[in-house]
Amino acid sequence: MALKKKKQKNTKSFWHRIRFKYKLSFFNETTLEEVWSFRLSQLSAFSSLAVFALVLIAVTALIIIKTPIRNYLPGYLDIEVRKEIMQNALRADSLERMIAVQSLYLKNVVGILTGTTPIDSIREIDSLAHVNADYDIPRSKNESNFVKAFEDDEKYNLAVLNPNPVPTDGIFFYKPVNGIVSSHYEADIRHFGVDIAASPKESVLSTLDGTVVFTGYDPNYGNVIQIQHKNGFLSIYKHNELLLKEIGDHVVAGEAIALVGNTGKLSTGPHLHFELWYKGSPVNPEDYIAF
């Protein structure tokens, strides 16, 4: 009971002490006349300081938010400023690209006027030079000799006298790769072959005896190899990972000529796109091969 009374007494003493008002007076030093005075307690002093601090914080925040000072704060860049910076960067990049194109164009014009650059060789400016789809790539000397030798070999081929438009008597077509046909031959949509889903890097086999007439890379079809066969057939193998033969190589039916891959923009997975052509016209490979 005595402890409780003592605690209450201390509490009353504390509130009395912080609420007790002190008088602060200012006197004229000459006349000792009181010029100004005010009363202030500890509680009112703490309250005044707290209010002043809150007001100062609020005013500072308001100045930062409403004035350009906010752009100097880390991570607080205005969206419009960011957008303008991005647009300026894009404009600078476009101007740099246009300057490069114009410089290359002027360089080609100077070459043509001075006679140092053949006209047909100007094919470097992708946005200005028109690429003719019918552009005939000149044959090299080795390619011309190979074509001439092949035509001489075929000159006395009696198979051309066969009235059957697609002769297949006595011909066995090897399956080019082991797998599942994922897309069939559809000439209406210009899909002149079959897609065979297979394991990556599995061997691709030549379907008949023949001679390799083309090997190369196509942006859409990846690594491509073509084999000309003496009976008028031409087989084409696309999207290969690796080509094992070169132009002019003679291959036998069932010989590995490439590895299954996923090359080219039109490929969506490891597979072989296989086409079979007869005298310049596509035929359905599934009519001749059991996949």
Tell me the per-residue pLDDT of 268-284, one tens digit each, with 9 for 90 and over. 899 999 999 998 899 99
Rounded to 10 degrees, what is the CA torsion of 214, 277, 158, 288? 120
Alpha-carbon distance of 127 to 44, in angstroms, equals 78
Residue 24 — very low, low, confident or very high, per pLDDT cuts 50/70/90? confident
| Structure-block tokens of residue 286 | 């599934």
Quote the pTM value.
0.45
Using the predicted structure, report yes or no on whether residue 155 has a pLDDT greater than 90: no
Residue 211 — very low, low, confident or very high, per pLDDT cuts 50/70/90? very high
Alpha-carbon distance of 258 to 274, in angstroms, equals 12
- Residues 184, 201 contacting (CB under 8 angstroms): no
Residue 73 — very low, low, confident or very high, per pLDDT cuts 50/70/90? low
Name, in order, each residue with C-beta under 8 angstroms of 63's C-beta and a sequence gap of 6 or more.
Answer: 69
Using the predicted structure, report yes or no on whether residue 41 has a pLDDT greater than 90: no
pLDDT computed for residue 7 by the predictor: 60
Cα distances (angstroms) measured from residue 289 to each of 47, 111, 172, 223: 96, 55, 9, 23
Alpha-carbon distance of 229 to 146, in angstroms, equals 15
**Strand 203-205 versus strand 256-260 pairing type:** antiparallel
Alpha-carbon distance of 243 to 221, in angstroms, equals 13
Q: How far is CA 236 from the centre of its chain?
A: 29
| Between 16 and 141, the higher pLDDT residue | 141
Alpha-carbon distance of 253 to 204, in angstroms, equals 11
Highest mean pLDDT out of 73-77, 127-131, 141-145, 153-157: 141-145
pLDDT computed for residue 14 by the predictor: 67
Phi, psi for residue 53 in degrees, rounded to 5: -65, -45
| Between 133 and 191, the higher pLDDT residue | 191
Instruction: For residue 278, list its beta bridge partners.
Output: 233, 281
Residue 128 — very low, low, confident or very high, per pLDDT cuts 50/70/90? very low
pLDDT computed for residue 243 by the predictor: 93
- Residues 288, 276 contacting (CB under 8 angstroms): yes
Name, in order, each residue with C-beta under 8 angstroms of 73's C-beta and a sequence gap of 6 or more.
Answer: 64
Name residue, tokens 């072959």: 193
- Domains of the chain plus CATH, in order, are 143-287 (2.70.70.10)
Cα distances (angstroms) measured from residue 162 to each of 12, 169, 219: 126, 11, 39
| Structure-block tokens of residue 47 | 């309250």
Question: Can you tell me the mean pLDDT for 128-139?
Answer: 53
pLDDT computed for residue 244 by the predictor: 93
pLDDT computed for residue 4 by the predictor: 58
Mean model confidence pLDDT for the chain? 80
